[in-house]
Amino acid sequence: MAGPQPHSDDQSDLPATTAGGELRASHTDRDQVVELLRVAAGDGRLSPEELDERLERALTAKTYAELAALTADLPATPGAAPVPTGAGAVSATPKDLVRIHIRGSSTQRDGRWVVPKELDIKVTGGSVTLDFTEAVITQPLLRITAELRRGQLTLITRPGIVVDADDVSVSTGSVTLPKLPEPPGYGVPVLLRIEVTGSVRIGGITVRPPRPPRRPRRTFWQWLRGAPRRSTIAA
């Protein structure tokens, strides 16, 4: 009669999405969550008191589940590795290359789209808009090769994202980057660097932050009574 088979408890090579949230966290795991919390506080998502309390818990966390609890109410932060949330969790895996080729039309990537490692963009008589404000970014560098012929490429960024378009060849077109009061990344960790290369012929590349929210419109009755519009700026 065969004896019991040996059982191995060594799951160190298994990802947390497979082995579950009770796996022991490493120093690197804690550091990633600490950086995520600091960036979230810089974005205004956490108060100073909340940041201090969560940093203390992150530095003393022993398992993935404890770390996941600290970021459960925060959106994915560029540059930070996804935090495991237990068995069955799925981490966003970026594609190596995504091609966007359009002719006479427009397309847009926005919301929580997964940013690939490289983008190949060809536009003829159309436009492409890439909105990074809520994008899921899992690596520090994105390379974009763009060929624009009577086309427009717009990159909507946020603090921590730096765009380098020095190697773009332009003939009868333009490359417009925002004027920054400080050097790129000053006071904010550089979470994603975007390197744009290629050519522009009768078109343009524009890099800008999100547009501010529109002022609320008055209803017909407010207009009829001459009531002023409500301000969107908190007192």
* pLDDT tens column, 5-28: 444 444 444 343 334 457 788 888
Rounded Cα distance, 216 and 164, in Å: 36
Contact 30, 95 (CB under 8 A): no
Q: Where are the domains of the chain?
A: 18-71, 98-208
In the predicted model, what is the mean pLDDT of residues 85-111?
Answer: 78
> Rounded to two decimals, what is the model's pTM?
0.56
* pLDDT of 90 higher than 50: no
SS3 76: coil
% of the chain exceeding 70 in pLDDT: 69
Coil, strand or helix at 92: coil
Q: What token pair was written down for 166?
A: 């020095």
pLDDT tens for residues 38-74? 888 877 888 888 888 999 998 998 888 888 888 888 7
Alpha carbons 13 and 45: distance in angstroms, whole number: 34
**Stretch 144-155: mean pLDDT:** 96
